[in-house]
Structure formats: C-alpha cells, structure tokens
Structure 1
Amino acid sequence: MAATTQSELLAMTEKEFAKLDKLMNSIPADIALRKDEEDTSIKDVVAHRANWIALFLGWYFDGLAGKTVHFPAEGYKWNELKRYNARLRENQASLSWDEARALLRDRHAQLISFIVERDDESLYSGPMKGANNDWKPGRWAEAAGPSHYRSAGKYIRGRLREMAA
C-alpha cells in the first residue's frame, strides 16, 4: 500500500532500508561482485538504487527551480532504460562493494532528509513540478526509496539462491 503522509513515507523508507541494509551486510564482496547472465552483479543493483535516489532528488529540485526535468535522465527516454542502465553500470564499474553500500547509505540519508524536511502538503497535495504526470513528490520518493529497496532485496535473495544451487 502506498504511503499518503510524510510519517507513513518516513516509516516505510526506514523499514525497507533497514531490511536491505541487513541483507547487504551479510554478503561478502566476492559474492556481491559476481555477475549474472545479464552481466549484472548484486553490487551493480545496489549502486543502481543509489543513482535513482539522486535522479529523483534532481528531478524534484529542477522542477521547483523551473528547470527542464529530464526523465529518466538527460538524453534518455523511458523506453531506453536498458541503454541507460548499461551506461550506468559502465560508469559505476570501478566501485567496490563497500563503496556501493556506502553510496546507497549516503543517498538513503539524503532521501530521509528530504522526507523529514517536507510536510504532508508538500509531499502529497499535488503533482511534482516538471514531472508532466499526476505523481506527487511523495509517490516519486517512495518509488526511488522503499520500492527500489524492496526490488533490490528481491533480486539479491534470488541471486543468493541461484549461487547456492
């Protein structure tokens, strides 16, 4: 169920991150760096989630400033996410497992600050400026944070099962 208040969003974000962080802490680097059939590792997925928090915050603040908001990123359309993600993996290839986890923790802290600094009205009263859709800032924050944390956890657990088999 989607959050509809700042307190719900904050609680959901903290809860989902705590579960993901605990899971990440249980994984040694050699496992986290092992690639799957699509050339993606657990480390790649974690670093990817950190990037999407930064994208969301950029979208939000660009929209508030009246700047053009590039969805999902400048030079890319939503139907080009595979190309964007491949480029992101290239750009993040040199990150270690520890660096990827630290990056996600840092971006999570930025997301928490964002949520704490806003009230119900600013998060849920109307569409996010520049988004060109009906999604409210709180919904975008949920997609960038807790929803992505859940999907990362699902991917990680699946990869761990595959590797154990």
Structure 2
Amino acid sequence: MSIPENKKQLLAAMTKNWDALQKKLSLVPAEQAYITQLDGHVSGTQMSVANLVSYLIGWGEQVLYWHQQERAGQNIDFPASGYKWNELGKLAQKYYADYASITCWSALLEKHADTHRKLLELVESYSDDALYGIPWYNTWTRGRMIQFNTASPYKNAATRLNALVKK
C-alpha cells in the first residue's frame, strides 16, 4: 500500500495494518508474550512481544496526547516531554516501562485495541484538508504524523513477529 494521501487512505492503511498485526498477535500464546525474545528498539537490546505492544500503545497514546495538547491551546511537545527525535530508543524503553504493570496478556491487548479505536475516532474527527491540506508539524501534515505513528509501526511490528510466530 502506498503512502496515504487522504483520510480514506489513512483509515484504510491503519485498518489493514492493524488487522495483519492482530492475526500475528493472536498466534502468540500468553505464556510467551512476556518472554524477551525479539530484537529491541535500541541496538543490542531484546524485548518481549508485550514490550512491542506496549511500544505501539505508547506511540498511539502519544499521538492522542499531541491532539489533547493542541485542543488545550498548549504547545505540542514533539516527540514527547523530555525526549528529542534522536532519543526514540529511550522513548521506546519508556513506553515498555509505562505498561509493564499490565501483566495479563489479554488486558494488554485490550488496552492496545482501545488505543487503536481512539486513534480511528481521532482521524474520523478531521476533514481531508485538516489531515493533509496543510503542514502540521514542520513540513509534515497531521495525517502523515498520525500514519508515522500508527499504520507504519503496526506493519513493522507484524514483520518483527514473523520469525516468532513461524517457530
């Protein structure tokens, strides 16, 4: 699928990549979800599937928070408070820690699904012009920033799970 250029394409990419990811996640037994067995988001580190899902939740919640900040008339702190774009590995590890208290696999997956639903609602709340008509962050449109942090990481996560679910 090419890079979305409008609301309909963005929703389609989010849904398609979400569905593909869910198929892979459904193959991960709960007893394996918290075992460190995947390459982490920082070179030389390892993570669990639960960490991977936590990372996706973290980015989804971050996108929602950006919009909450905007609605409140606050400056948006990209990518997140206390982090710079060249510190995304550290931010990934923060997201792992943020959801580490959710030790029930089905509860973590439900949190992920809830975040995804909120992201779809967010996209639905904007027009094509608001999503793709004007730059929102530097040269990036709102739609592109949402896609960077939803559809793209969903696809990447599904790819990361390929080797694990084929075992």
| Band the TM-score falls in, shorter-chain normalisation | 0.7 to 0.9
Residue 118 (structure 1) aligned to one of 111, 123, 126: 126
2:98 pairs with 1:91:
yes
| Residue identity opposite 1:91 in structure 2 | D
More strand by share: 2
2:148 pairs with 1:143:
yes
TM-score (norm 1): 0.88
Distance in 2 (CA, whole Å) between partners of 1:91 and 1:124 is 31
2:158 pairs with 1:153:
yes
Distance in 1 (CA, whole Å) between partners of 2:98 and 2:69 is 23
Q: Tell me by how many angstroms 1:44 deviates.
A: 0.8
In the other structure, the counterpart of 2:76 is: 69
Percent identity, please: 27
Inter-CA distance 64–127: structure 2 relative to 1 (3 Å threshold): farther
Once the two structures are superposed, the pairs formed by residues 18-97 of structure 1 within 5 Å of their partners are 18-36=19-37, 38-95=45-102, 96-97=104-105
| Residue identity opposite 1:137 in structure 2 | R
More helix by share: 1
TM-score (norm 2): 0.87
Report the RMSD for the aligned CA atoms in angstroms.
1.6
In the TM superposition, what whole-angstrom CA distance separates every residue of 1:22-65 from its partner, at most 9, and x where no partner exists? 22112111222110362310111012101101101211332344
| Residue identity opposite 2:108 in structure 1 | A
Gaps of 5+ in 2: 40-44
